[in-house]
Structure 1
Amino acid sequence: MKYIYFILGMICFILATIGVILPILPTTPFLLVAAFCFSRSSYRINNWFLSTKLYQEHLDSFIKQRAMTLKTKIYILSFASIMLAFPLFLSQNVYIRIFIILLYIFKYYYFTFKIKTIQSKKIL
């Protein structure tokens, strides 16, 4: 099982790295999954991941302070909103539509009121 977690973690880490370059692909959700997978795969790999610049720039503040930069919040919310829009408009089931609308409300409430917004670290 450790090998499966390692492989999934590497896939998510690579996708997060690509997400830094391509603004269409979100970075933070992939880093969260990678952190979960690496923590389950091995202590040494998890320590390596926690020391990477990618983790420290995009996820460290959320883990330590329950805070994100405004840019990160917007990326996560916009990507999740676009993904939820597909089943919302394509589904004919009223209960699924109601559930997705409630999910939208909860998502925006949580990101607005439960996760603090911090300033991004500018390095000149």
Structure 2
Amino acid sequence: MIAPALMAALVTALAAPAFADGDAANGEKAFRKCAACHTITEDGPSRVGPNLYDIVGRTTGAVDGFAFSAPMTELGEEGHVWTPEELDRFIEDPKAVVPGTKMAFAGIKKPEERADLVAYLLSVSPGAEAGAD
């Protein structure tokens, strides 16, 4: 018999999207949902939301000149960093992950679409450790 804690860990691991298996080209298409509020180019401006270029590995709430919500700023001050896993959670349900966020996006429920989007964000994050297995 499998211990409940081990079973929970296995279910979580099996359910987690494989970002390495995400398709960055599909993620670029999925980013269109984000492009109304975010840019993704190096040195691109912030819009309603911050520029997301090099987001993976960035401290939360750390875009110069952008007025983040208090909860986002507090997360960054506590040392929170955007990892692929954290981005996946946030993209799925922003308001559940960061209550009080100003982001007015309901989220993306499909795990495959989120994996593709995170793969795209990884592809435009030169500061992230690329290819680390």
TM interval, short-chain normalised: under 0.3
More helix as a share of residues: 1
TM-score for both structures, normalised by structure 2: 0.26
Rg larger in structure: 1
- Greater RCO structure (CA 8 Å; 6+ sep): 2
